[in-house]
Structure 1
Amino acid sequence: MSTNIQSPIFILLALFLFSLQSCKENKTKNPEKHTEANKAEEDGFVQIFDGKTLEGWEGDPAYWSVKNGNLIGEVTPETLLENNTFIIWQGGQPADFELKLEFRIAESGNSGINYRSEKIDTIPHALRGYQADIDGKNTYTGQNYEEKKRTTLAYRGEKVIINSQENPDAAESLRANIKNNCWQSREVVGSLGESDSLKTKIKSGDWNKIHLIVKGNRMQHYVNDVLMSDVTDEDTVNRESKGHLGVQVHVGPPMTVAYRNIRLKNL
C-alpha cells in the first residue's frame, strides 16, 4: 500500500513526533530546572514571595523592600525603631504547616520568623506569638521565642514541654511565670546537642536554610537541616493553634536582613 506524504494524518504524526523530540531536548538542556519544578510540585510547597514585589505582604515600606530577588528588612540611622516591626503575609493564618526559606543577616542584626501570631492593634505592623529566632551573632538563632508573650520557650539545643497553666487569668499568668526573659513553666525533657556545638552549623554573614515543622502542639525549628529546638506546648491557656506569619526587624542598631525562597506547605 503506498503512502501519500501530503496526507493530513502523516502531517499530524510528523508534528507529534517533532514535539516529543523538542520536549526531550529541553529536558536534556535544562535538567536542573526541570527537576526543581517537579520537586516543588511533588513536595507540596508553594512560593509565597515572588522575588519581585511585596505583593501579598503588608509592612512599613520604610523598612521593607525587594532587591535582587530578596525580601530585605533594613533599619538605618535615620529609621531607628521604637518597636519591633514585621512584614506580614496576607495569604491566610496557617495552622499546621511546614515553612522553608533562606536568610542572611548582618552581624548587628536581630530578626525572626513569627507564626501562629496575632496582630497587636495598638502597634502598627506588630505581631505577638511564636517566633523562630534569628540574630547576626547566632546567640539566639534556632531557639523558640514567643514575641511579646511568654518569651523564651526553648533555647537552642533543647527539647521542651511547656506545662499547662492552672491560672485562668492569662495576663496574670504571663507576669508570674517570666524570669530573666524565659518562661518558667517549662520542662527540658531532652537534648538536641550543646548550644555552642549547634552554633557551628550556622553560617555567619552567609545564606542559611530554615525549616519549620509546626503540627498540633509541637514546633520544630531546623537550621541547615539540623534540629535546633523542639517544643511541645501543653499550655492550653496561652498557646495558639493558628495565626499570622511574618518576618521581623528588631529594635536596636542599624541592620539588614534578607530572606528568599519562602515556601509554605499546609499540612
Structure 2
Amino acid sequence: MNKMIKYGYLTVAASFLLVSCNAGNTKESQSQNVAADSAMNGEGFIAMLDPNTLTGWEGDSSYWHMDSGVLVGEIKEGAEPLKSNTFLIWKGGEPGDFVLKSQFRISENGNSGINYRSERFTELPYALKGYQADIDGKHQYTGQNYEERNRTTLAYRGQQTEIPNPTASMPGESKGNAWSSLIVLDTLATAAELADVVKAGDWNEIEIVAKDNKLSHYINGKLISEVLDNDQVNRKEKGLIGVQVHVGPPMKIEYKDMQIKMLK
C-alpha cells in the first residue's frame, strides 16, 4: 500500500474522530466541520502526488523528480538523447471511469501528455500504450486525444469525434498520424478560441473525464476534444495512468495538484 492511500485512510479516520469529539457542539459548528471536511477531501478527489518523493509512481528517476510539490520531467541540456518516450506510471490502480485534474507548465520545446486507460508496452522500459491527453510547448496539440502506440490521433483540438466499430469494408488504419475511420461530429472551438485557451509558459489546468466510451479533455475549463469510442476491437475500458517525457530536444514539463476522482 503506498503512502497516498495510507494518507487517505488516515484522513478519513481523522474526520470521524473530529466529528466524535465535537458531538456536543452546536448545529452551526457541526455544519462548519462538514464543510471543512468536504473541502479537505475535494468532494471525492484524492491527491496523486507525494509532495517530496516519487512514492506511488514508477519510472526512470534520471528524467523525473519531485521539487516542493511539483512533479518535474526533464531532458537536460547536454544529456544523452532519449531513444524512446519514457513514462512515469502511477501505481494507484487501473481506473476505468474517472475525473483527473492537474496543473501543468511546459517549456516551449516540450512534448508531454497524460496517458490513461493504458497498458504497458513491454518491449521498452517504462513505456505505455493507450489514450493520451496531449500537451506540447507550442500548443499545437495540447488537449487533443492521441492514442500512443495504437490508433494515433482520435480527435484533434476542437473536434468531437466518433470512432466507429471496424467493418470489413472500413477496418480503420493509422494514416497520416490519425485514425482513418474517425468521424467528426461537431466543432467544439474556433481557431481563435484554441489560440487563446492556453497560457504559454505559465500554469494551466488540464481535466480528463473518462466515462464509459466518452473521453473528454478540458484545458482551463474549455472542452478541447471529445471522443465517442465505439471501436469494440481497440478501445479500452480501464488501464494505467502515466505522464510522458517525449523524445526530442531538451525540455521541461511540470505537473502539480494532480488529483483523481473515481466515478465507478
Pairing 1:238–2:231 present? no
| Alignment partner, residue 43 of structure 1 | 43
TM-superposition CA deviations, 1:125-150 (whole Å, max 9, x none): 00000000000000000100001111
How many equivalent pairs are there? 236
Structure 1 residue identity aligned to 2:210: V
5 Å matches for 1:71-90? 71-76=71-76, 77-90=78-91
Say whether the 8 Å CA contact 2:49–2:69 is kept in structure 1.
no
Q: Which range moves more in the overlay, 40-49 or 80-89?
A: 40-49
Structure 1 residue identity aligned to 2:215: M
User: 1: CA distance between counterparts of 2:36 and 2:247?
Assistant: 38
Q: Which structure is larger by alpha-carbon Rg, 1 or 2? A: 1
| Alignment partner, residue 5 of structure 1 | none
Determine helix, strand or coil for the equivalent of 2:119: strand
Which among 154, 173, 179 is matched to residue 183 of structure 1? 179
Q: Which range moves more in the overlay, 136-145 or 196-205?
A: 196-205
User: 1: CA distance between counterparts of 2:247 and 2:36?
Assistant: 38
| Alignment partner, residue 3 of structure 2 | none
| Alignment partner, residue 102 of structure 1 | 103
| Alignment partner, residue 133 of structure 1 | 134
5 Å matches for 1:15-164? 38-41=38-41, 43-76=43-76, 77-164=78-165
Q: CA deviation at 1:37?
A: 5.5
Q: CA deviation at 1:178?
A: 1.4
Q: Please, what TM-score do these two structures have when normalized by structure 2?
A: 0.84
Pairing 1:229–2:225 present? yes
Give unmatched runs, 5+ long, in structure 2: 1-20
Q: Please, what TM-score do these two structures have when normalized by structure 1?
A: 0.83
Which among 180, 185, 192 is matched to residue 188 of structure 2? 192
Runs of 4+ in 1 over 3 A off after TM superposition: 34-37
Q: CA deviation at 1:52?
A: 1.3
Say whether the 8 Å CA contact 2:198–2:219 is kept in structure 1.
yes
Give unmatched runs, 5+ long, in structure 1: 1-15, 28-33, 168-172
The CA RMSD over aligned residues, in Å, is: 2.3
Q: CA deviation at 1:40?
A: 4.4
Q: CA deviation at 1:51?
A: 1.8
TM-superposition CA deviations, 1:140-178 (whole Å, max 9, x none): 0010000111111000100000011125xxxxx5xx611
User: 1: CA distance between counterparts of 2:258 and 2:229?
Assistant: 25
